[in-house]
């Protein structure tokens, strides 16, 4: 459904006088967005079905020669323990997607809730929420993640909490700005004057009008989340052995970079392609949802 929506070359937007104005975007942006969706869909499918794909046992030691080069038998080579890298790569993608995706879902729920409350009720409640976001935003991302892991201990829990606390402030500020533009519009003011319950106003009038902004910001939060998770795993603070993530595979391969560079290059390229595809899909989605970004080119 999303790919079909992105593939449409133009949308028609009614003008002030009721006239329709055709708004089109460069074909290149559509192509990049579809390419990003295709690559992301492929990687998500591999991660989702990693347990059922005939890739081999990711934990089997001495499945082949140690540090073997990529070949027909071992497409991604083997690691220092003779384990096939291909099934480990699929499991690593699964771990990265699950951690980052779960954290982004929690981030989206928390950010939207705080943003809507801050925008609608304002006064000291909104100020308290924004100042709290400013405090979190002031910390360097990786430093904040390390501090959180120092409290929770290395592992998936610390990585998940780190992603949520790092991504929430920026997403909340953007969504709050969108919510502020909605709560001051006539239909919301009329509903408040008519003594409509606040919960109903938020559910019926505010949330549907900021859903597009929240979805777009969630895609960008996903790429940030994958970077944070990979960075923590690279430092040995995220996913722990014998499990693996893309960051931990890069860290393991870095020891043998001079004699087995594919152990770093393959997971590194997969991580880069994944984040790039998420950003391309997010850009395409933003252009489709934001009318201001689809100005007519004549």
Half-sphere exposure of 215 (CA within 13 A, CB side): 16
CA distances from 106 to 114, 172, 214 (A): 12, 12, 13
**Tens digit of each residue's pLDDT (9 = 90 or more) over 149-169:** 989 988 899 999 999 999 998
Q: How far is residue 136 CA from its own chain's centroid?
A: 19
Q: What is the pLDDT of residues 129-141, one digit of tens each?
A: 888 888 888 888 8
Higher model confidence: residue 92 or residue 242? 92
- Find the mean pLDDT for residues 35-64: 89
- pLDDT computed for residue 86 by the predictor: 92
- pLDDT reported for residue 186: 81
Instruction: Give the per-residue pLDDT at 118.
Output: 86
> For the segment 223-274, what is each residue's pLDDT rounded down to a tens digit?
999 999 999 999 989 888 888 899 999 999 998 988 999 999 999 999 999 9
Alpha-carbon separation of residue 27 from 32, 68, 119 (angstroms): 9, 43, 37
What's the mean pLDDT in 62-80?
89
Q: Where is mean pLDDT largest: 4-18, 130-144, 280-294?
A: 130-144
Q: Is the pLDDT of residue 6 over 60?
A: no
203-220 confidence digits (pLDDT tens): 888 888 888 889 889 998
Q: Does domain 87-249+260-298 have CATH number 1.10.3720.10?
A: yes
In this predicted structure, the answer to whether residue 113 has a pLDDT above a threshold of 70 is yes
**What is the per-residue pLDDT for 60?**
87
Query: Where do we find the tokens 């996903």?
Result: 222
Q: Model pTM?
A: 0.80
């Amino acid at each position: 459904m999303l790919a079909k929506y992105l593939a449409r070359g133009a949308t028609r937007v009614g003008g002030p006088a009721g006239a329709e104005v055709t708004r089109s975007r460069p074909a290149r942006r559509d192509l990049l967005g579809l390419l990003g969706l295709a690559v992301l869909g492929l990687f998500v499918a591999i991660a989702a079905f990693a347990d059922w794909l005939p890739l081999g046992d990711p934990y089997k030691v001495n499945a082949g020669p140690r540090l073997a080069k990529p070949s027909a038998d071992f497409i991604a080579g083997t690691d220092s323990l003779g384990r096939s890298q291909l099934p480990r790569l699929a499991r690593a993608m699964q771990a990265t997607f699950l951690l980052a995706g779960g954290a982004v879902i929690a981030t989206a729920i928390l950010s939207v809730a705080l943003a809507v409350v801050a925008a609608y009720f304002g006064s000291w409640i909104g100020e308290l929420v924004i100042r709290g976001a400013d405090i979190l935003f002031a910390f360097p991302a990786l430093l904040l993640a390390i501090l959180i892991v120092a409290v929770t201990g290395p592992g998936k829990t610390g990585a998940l909490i780190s992603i949520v606390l790092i991504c929430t402030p920026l997403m909340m500020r953007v969504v709050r700005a969108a919510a502020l533009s909605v709560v001051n519009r006539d239909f919301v003011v009329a509903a408040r004057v008519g003594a409509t319950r606040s919960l109903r106003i938020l559910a019926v009038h505010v949330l549907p009008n900021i859903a597009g902004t929240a979805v777009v910001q969630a895609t960008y939060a996903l790429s940030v989340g994958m970077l944070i998770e990979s960075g923590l795993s690279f430092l040995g603070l995220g996913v722990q052995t014998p499990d693996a993530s893309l960051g931990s595979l890069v860290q393991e391969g870095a020891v043998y970079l001079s004699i087995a560079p594919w152990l770093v290059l393959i997971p590194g390229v997969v991580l880069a392609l994944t984040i790039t595809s998420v950003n391309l899909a997010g850009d395409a989605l933003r252009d489709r949802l934001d009318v201001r970004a689809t100005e007519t080119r004549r």
